Every structure is written in C-alpha cells, then in structure tokens.
Amino acid sequence: MNPELNPASVEVGSPSSSLSRAAHALVPVALGALAVAAAAQFVVPVPLSPVPMTLQPLAVLVVGGLLGAARGVSALVLYIALGAMGMPVFAGGGAGALHLVGPTGGYLLAFPVAAGITGALVGPKSSILGVLLACALGMAVIHVGGVAQLALLGGDPALAFRVGFLPFLTGDLLKIGLAGAVILGVGPRLRSLR
C-alpha cells in the first residue's frame, strides 16, 4: 500500500488549521485597508490645492508600524485595488482607477511604499525616536510620490511643491507624532496577542 494514501497518515484538523493560519494573516490586512478607507472620509479642502487634507497618511503610517512591512504593504495594495475597482474608499468616498492618475494619485501610489518602510523600520524594541523617524520617512515617501505626480501633471515642480507639500507640513508633523504614539501604545499589546 502506498504510504501517502494511508488514511492514518492524514492529519485530522489540517484544513481548519490552514484556514486559521489564512485568517490570521488576512484579517489584519483587511482591517488595515478598512482603517485607511475610514481615515479617507475625513476630508478638509485646501484652498488653491487640488489635494485635500485627510487622515489617510496617519492611517498609512499606523498600519505599516503595527502590521509590519509585508502586511502593511498588503493592506495598502488591497486598499488601492478596492478603490480602483470602484469601491468608495478614496478621499471623500471617491472611487475608480482615474484617481490613480489624477492629482492625488501619486500620494495613493506611494502609500504601500510608505507603509512598507515604516513597518520595516519599526520593531518590538524600537525607541520613541526610532518610531518617529520611521514615521517621518514614511510621510516623506508619501509627499515625494504626491509632489512628483503633481509636477508631472502640471509641468511645474515649484508649484507642485507649493500646493502639494507646504499646506500639509504642519498637519503632517502632528500626524507623525500621533502615529508614533499609536504605534508605541498599541504595538506591544498587539504583539502580546500573537
């Protein structure tokens, strides 16, 4: 008799343990995408800028810092895919792939990279300064992507910097501090649940 076909060699509970592992991996990713989608609904128009102020960057940094690089990137790729497929998850309930090539597209496309960098740099023994620097680098990536796309669309890098970065500087410094506080406050509790 072939030992691979022996019924006694089949592990009972294997499908459920596989399902449990899959759920353990997918649930945080889905919750991360949901958190960014919820943060996108808090919109403040910025005068003379095609880009609104939202809580998305804060959520991106927190998702990356709490979930780690791989799951953080996965959550943000899922978020972008849902929005591109028509789910109203972008700023103010926006949806559709055109958002990725419009004025806010560079910011959106930079979100997975920012979450990945933040998640890669934040670890269980990260200091306050280390977490804040990770968040600052993640925020810088978001702005580089956003300003670059604005410059490509408008043809004027200086104007892109003025309308795509300067109005957001103060608020984003606060978001970096808040993200750091959430990561430091919640991170150890999440790790203890694993």
Cα 118 from Cα 113, distance rounded (Å): 9
Task: Check: CB of residue 39 under 8 Å from CB of residue 33.
Answer: no
**Which amino acid appears at position 123 of this protein?**
G
* Residue indicated by tokens 């919820």: 38
- Give how far Cα 13 sits from Cα of 25, 98, 135, 172, Å: 18, 45, 41, 48
Query: pLDDT for 72-130, tens place per residue?
Result: 999 999 999 999 999 999 999 999 999 999 999 999 999 999 999 999 999 888 999 99
Q: Mean pLDDT, to the nearest integer, of 137-159?
A: 97
Query: pLDDT for 42-75, tens place per residue?
Result: 999 999 899 999 999 999 999 999 999 999 999 9
Cα angle, residue 109 at apex, residues 108 and 111 outer, rounded to 5°: 65
What band does 21 get if pLDDT is binned at 50, 70 and 90? confident
Q: Is the dihedral of CA 93, 97, 103, 105 positive or negative?
A: positive
Fold classified for 16-193:
Arp2/3 complex 21 kDa subunit ARPC3 (1.10.1760)
**Radius of gyration over every alpha carbon of the chain, rounded to an integer in angstroms:** 20
* Residue indicated by tokens 């089949």: 10
Query: Structural domain boundaries of the chain?
Result: 16-193
pTM reported for the whole predicted model: 0.88
